[in-house]
Structure 1
C-alpha cells in the first residue's frame, strides 16, 4: 500500500519535473525526495527512482536559458549575438583539438590553406624536357612498359576525351607509388638502423605533390558517383598490387612509375590541345593552384595544366633514376635523392 501511494506521488512529481521548468517544479521534486527518499521507504526501487528524478531535475535546471537582461529584449539579442560570435572565434578546426596557426601571404592577406603551408609552395620548372623517354632494354623494363600500356587502354575507353575527369582519376593512382615506396623505405631504415639518403622524403613529397594535383582538379571537374566508385575500386587493387610489386622488385616498381609518368605527360599534352581548340573551356585557375604553384593573378586552367605536366616530368626522371640505381646493384640509400626535383 505504501509503495502504491509512493508510486502515485512519484508520477505526479515526474510530471512536474519533466513538463514544467519553473521553481515550483523543482520545489515539488525536492519535496518528493524528502518525503519518499528519507521516509519509511528506505532503500527501495522507488527511493532509487526518486534520486534519479532529483538528478534529472537539477540537470534540466542547468540547461535553462538565463533570464533576459534588464535592458529588455534588444539587449538580450545583443548579448546572445556577442556570445555566438565569441564561440565562433574559439571554434577549433584542427583534428587534434589544437587551434590552427595563422599564416599570411607575401601581400599580407590571410593564408587560407591547411593542406600546405606558404613555404611548401614553389615555382615549377617549365623548361624540363617533356619528350625524354627511357627505352626498355631488359625483361623487367619491357614488362613495366607493357603493364602501363595495358592499363591505358581501359582508361581511354572509359573517359574518352573528358580530360578533366581523366586527370582526376590519374592523380588518385599516381599519388599511391610515392607513399608506398616511402613507407617501405621507412620501415627498412628502422629495421637496419641506417639512413635513407633522403629518398624517404623525396618519395613522400612526390606523393604529396600528386595529391595536390588531385585537390586542384577537384575544383575543376566534380566527379560523378560512379567515377568515385571507380576510384575506390582502382585504388584498392592498385595499392595492394604495387605494394607487392615493390616488395618483390623495387627497380621494376620505379620503372613502371617512370612509364606511368610518361603516359601522364602525354595525357596532359592532349588536355592542352583540347583547351586550345576550345573543346574544354579555359576557366580561371582555382585559388588553391594560384597559391601552390605561385601562379600570377589571372592565370587560367591552361596554366595549371602546364605546371602539372612539368611536375609529372620531374617525377618521371626521379623514378627512372631510382630504377637505374637498382639496376647498377646499388640501393637507394647509397645514392642521394635528387634535390629540388619540384
Structure 2
C-alpha cells in the first residue's frame, strides 16, 4: 500500500542534487500559483508527463544499441508518461487555463524536456531520483488541494467526462474523487522511481512500509 506521508531523505551527492533541483521547482510553483491548485496542476502535469517519455525513448535506444531486452522498463516509463498526460487533460477541463498559462505550458515543457534529457543521458539514477522527489511534492500539493475542497474554499465541481472514463469513476463523481485518484497515481510514480534509482545504483531497494532488501544491479538499465 502506498504511504501518503513517505518522504525520502537525500543520501548521496546525486540525491542532494536531485532534491535541490526539485525544491527550486517547488519554490517557483508556490510563488506563482499559491493556492490556485487547478492551474498549478495544469502546468506541473505538463512537466510531469515529460520524464516517462524521455526515459522510455532513451531506454529504447539503449536496448537497440546493446541488443538486449529492456526488462520491461520502456513500457513502464511510457505508461507513466501516458498517465501523467491524462492528468493534464483532466485538469485542463477543470481549470481552463488562460492564454498566458498556455504559454507557460509551452515554455515549461520546452525547458524541462531539454534539461531532463541531458540529465537522463548523463545519469539515469539522478533522473529517476528527480522524478521521485518531484512526485513527493506532487503528493503534498494534491493533499493540500483536497484540504481546500474539504473546507469549502474550492468548489467540489462535477468530474469531467475524460476523468470518469479514464479512472472508471461513477457518473456522479466530483472533483474530490478525481484528486484522490490522481494523488494515488502520483504515490505510485514516486515509489517506483525511487525503486528504479535504487536498482540503477545496485543498492538496497527501499519501499515505503517494507523492509530493506538487496537488489541485483540490472544487466540492462545501467549507465
- The TM-score, its normalising length taken from structure 1, stands at 0.59
Query: In 2, distance between residues paired with 1:250 and 1:331?
Result: 13
Instruction: Identify the match of residue 291 of structure 1 among 165, 177, 182.
Output: 165
Match of 1:256 in 2: 130
Match of 2:213 in 1: none
**After the TM superposition, which segments of 4 or more aligned residues of structure 1 sit over 2 Å from their partners?**
329-335
What's the CA shift for 1:331?
Answer: 3.7
Match of 1:269 in 2: 143
Which string of whole-angstrom CA distances, capped at 9 and with x for unpartnered residues, describes residues 190-226 of structure 1?
1111110000000000000000001111110111111
Q: Across the two proteins, how many residue pairs are aligned to each other?
A: 209
Q: 1:81-100 counterparts in 2 under 5 A?
A: none
Match of 1:198 in 2: 72
Match of 1:333 in 2: 220
Match of 1:219 in 2: 93
Indicate how the Cα distance of structure 1 residues 235 and 167 shifts in structure 2: closer, same or farther if over 3 A, else same.
same
Query: In 2, distance between residues paired with 1:323 and 1:294?
Result: 31
What's the CA shift for 1:162?
Answer: 0.6
Equivalent pair of 2:43/2:108 in contact (CA under 8 Å): no
Query: In 2, distance between residues paired with 1:158 and 1:282?
Result: 23
What's the CA shift for 1:297?
Answer: 2.3
Question: Is the aligned partner of 1:178 residue 2:26?
Answer: no
Match of 2:112 in 1: 238
Query: In 2, distance between residues paired with 1:226 and 1:332?
Result: 46
SS of residue paired to 1:333: coil
Instruction: Identify the match of residue 81 of structure 2 among 207, 212, 226.
Output: 207
Instruction: Identify the match of residue 323 of structure 1 among 182, 197, 200.
Output: 197
Q: 1:140-155 counterparts in 2 under 5 A?
A: 140-155=14-29
Question: Is the aligned partner of 1:169 residue 2:43?
Answer: yes
Q: 1:52-67 counterparts in 2 under 5 A?
A: none
Which string of whole-angstrom CA distances, capped at 9 and with x for unpartnered residues, describes residues 57-92 of structure 1?
xxxxxxxxxxxxxxxxxxxxxxxxxxxxxxxxxxxx
Query: In 2, distance between residues paired with 1:332 and 1:227?
Result: 43
Equivalent pair of 1:171/1:213 in contact (CA under 8 Å): yes
Equivalent pair of 1:325/1:332 in contact (CA under 8 Å): no
Query: In 1, distance between residues paired with 2:162 and 2:21?
Result: 34
Mind listing any 5+ residue stretches in structure 2 that lack a counterpart? 204-216
Equivalent pair of 1:199/1:332 in contact (CA under 8 Å): no
Query: In 2, distance between residues paired with 1:307 and 1:209?
Result: 11
Q: 1:80-159 counterparts in 2 under 5 A?
A: 128-159=2-33
Instruction: Identify the match of residue 306 of structure 1 among 141, 155, 180.
Output: 180
Equivalent pair of 1:322/1:332 in contact (CA under 8 Å): no
What's the CA shift for 1:332?
Answer: 6.9
What's the CA shift for 1:276?
Answer: 0.8
Query: In 1, distance between residues paired with 2:57 and 2:219?
Result: 14
- The TM-score, its normalising length taken from structure 2, stands at 0.90
SS of residue paired to 2:89: helix
For the pair shown, which has the larger CA radius of gyration, 1 or 2? Answer: 1
